[in-house]
């Protein structure tokens, strides 16, 4: 998600106490993170629904983080923070084995083969997630892009992860859809008639 540049955007983000440089605010608590949160709909809803868990939404574009900040403007959500970082840098920022759940929602598909390494479910990213996740930690991945989904199923398996559950039609899978929190893209794509794929994986 790319938005037109907004003057003073970086400064606003750097000055916000809600945008953090590390995950220390959650220390000692269950931490759940979304990588590539976009405007933050999903992670905000999660934080409101589960006040006893701690949530951090990560997004690489400052203009997009600013939209998330504007969304919660005035709301007091003490268990939620944002990070403006590239997922590739997180292993230097987050303490190893401190994350309970990683959510990847509608990650950029990078359909060309020569760009496969940029997919957030490619080998180098899975190595990062392995370092960040607690021993019992899990990844929950949703997309409407069947090619990316099939690639990801293989990538998890090839890299020694267990795929615990998966579906090519989340909204018609009563078990996996229970308690599902829709993301902004999920709402948009399913309104267009696209089916939503989901998998849950564990190392
Ligand atoms: N999760 C949201 C947005 C999906 S779009 C939803 O489901 O509605 C994917 C988002 O991931 C974009 O905003 C993009 O900027 C962000 N993104 C892609 N690669 C990233 C990376 N390496 N690090 C951080 N954010 C990334």
169 counts as catalytic: no
pLDDT given for residue 72 in this prediction: 93
- The lowest-confidence range among 8-17, 18-27, 163-172, 180-189 is 8-17
Selection from 183, 179, 193 nearest residue 141 by Cα: 183
Arithmetic mean of pLDDT, 176-192:
98
pTM: 0.97
Q: Is the pLDDT of residue 24 over 80?
A: yes
**What is the rounded distance in angstroms from the CA atom of residue 166 to the CA atom of residue 176?**
8
Q: Which residues contact 18 (CB under 8 A, 6 or more apart)?
A: 69, 72, 80, 81, 82
Q: Tell me the per-residue pLDDT of 100-153, one tens digit each, with 9 for 90 and over.
A: 999 999 999 999 999 999 999 999 999 999 999 999 999 999 999 999 999 999
Catalytic residue among 41, 76, 108, 147: 108
Predicted local distance difference test score (pLDDT) of residue 166: 98
* CA nearest ligand 1 atom 4, residue: 106
pLDDT at 97 over 90: yes
Ligand 1 interacting residues, C-beta cut-off 6 A: 1, 36-38, 42, 58-61, 64, 86-88, 105-108, 183-186
**DSSP code, position 20:** -
Query: What pLDDT was estimated at residue 4?
Result: 76
41: left (phi over 0), alpha (psi -120 to 50) or beta: alpha
Q: Which long-range contacts (CB under 8 A, 24 or more apart) does 152-161 make?
A: 152/119, 152/121, 152/199, 153/199, 155/119, 155/121, 155/122, 155/123, 155/126, 156/121, 156/126, 156/199, 156/201, 158/123, 159/123, 159/126, 159/127, 160/203, 161/126, 161/201, 161/202, 161/203
pLDDT (tens digit, 9 = 90+) per residue, 36-90? 999 999 999 999 999 999 999 999 999 999 999 999 987 999 999 999 999 999 9
- DSSP string over 59-86: ES-HHHHHHHHHHTTT---TTEEEEE--
Coil, strand or helix: which one is 31? strand
Of 1 and 44, more confident: 44
């Amino acid at each position: 998600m790319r938005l037109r540049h907004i003057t003073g955007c970086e400064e606003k983000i750097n000055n916000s106490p809600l945008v953090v440089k590390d995950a220390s605010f959650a220390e000692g608590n269950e931490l759940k993170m979304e990588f590539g949160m976009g405007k933050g709909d999903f992670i905000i809803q999660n934080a409101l629904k589960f006040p006893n868990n701690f949530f951090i939404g990560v997004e690489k574009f400052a203009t997009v983080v600013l939209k998330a900040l504007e969304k919660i403007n005035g709301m007091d959500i003490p268990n939620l923070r944002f990070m403006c970082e590239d997922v590739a840098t997180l292993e230097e920022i987050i303490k190893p084995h401190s994350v309970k759940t990683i959510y990847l929602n509608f990650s950029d598909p990078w359909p060309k083969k020569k760009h496969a390494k940029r997919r957030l479910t490619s080998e180098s990213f899975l190595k990062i997630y392995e370092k960040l996740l607690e021993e019992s930690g899990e990844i929950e991945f949703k997309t409407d892009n069947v090619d990316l989904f099939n690639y990801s199923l293989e990538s998890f398996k090839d890299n020694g992860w267990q795929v615990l559950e998966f579906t090519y039609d989340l909204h018609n899978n009563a078990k996996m859809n229970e308690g599902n929190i829709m993301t902004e893209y999920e709402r948009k794509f399913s309104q267009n008639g696209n089916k939503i794929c989901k998998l849950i994986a564990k190392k």
